[in-house]
Chain A
């Protein structure tokens, strides 16, 4: 059970490495440029969904990016909920 955070665009090595490790039973929070990986109907988004992990997006970063209408029903969260995720998952891996 790992909480992953991705703070890099879907074209980055961080994304490639992250997707290799994230698994069912984990959670992944997309932040900063990481939110672009949640744009629907992209290879990146498909790859994230295929991991089976719970996906979350930091709302502030989604708003900044202007992609609110492109991430479908993705779970956008406030920072308080991110803290709640860290309570639930005993370890966090930061991908950047």
Chain B
């Protein structure tokens, strides 16, 4: 089966986004394909390079980076939401004259069309929010 995963939760609120990353990993382990993980609203902050966690806590971004780097999972951040949350790539930070990119390069900023495309191409849409 082909999956699209929609992440609405911030890594700072509860651990729903960690559950989403774990879910993604288990989807692959069961032999399915992930068409895209799309981050929307507060979920866009999962792509941040600026979050700092105490040494005794795992950085929730690690799981997403692993999915991108080891499993070539497409991680897309909704650009409309992203800007509101200060999630900027190099292009947007220059365009809006901000100090620098705040989004990890493993994530791509793009429009909601990428979510629509992903849903059209997927057997399953699974949303993580709250």
Contacts and interface: CB of A to CB of B under 8 A. Distances in A.
Interface residues of B, number: 23
B19 A79 contact: yes
B19 A83 contact: no
Interface in B78-111: none
Contacts of B3: 86
Given A80-B30, A96-B8, A86 B126 contact: yes
Nearest to B126: A92
B23 A14 contact: no
Nearest to A80: B26
Given A32-B16, A79-B23, A79-B26, A92 B124 contact: yes
B59 interface: no
B54 interface: no
A8 B14 CA distance: 10
Given A31-B16, A32-B15, A96-B8, A83 B23 contact: yes
A92 B125 contact: yes
B49 interface: no
A31, A60, A83 — which one has the most chain B CB atoms within 10 A of its CB? A83
A87 interface: yes
A58 interface: yes
Interface of B: 1, 3, 8-9, 14-16, 19, 22-23, 26-27, 29-30, 32, 123-130
Shortest 6 CB-CB distances between A and B: which pairs?
A96-B130, A7-B130, A94-B127, A96-B129, A83-B26, A79-B26
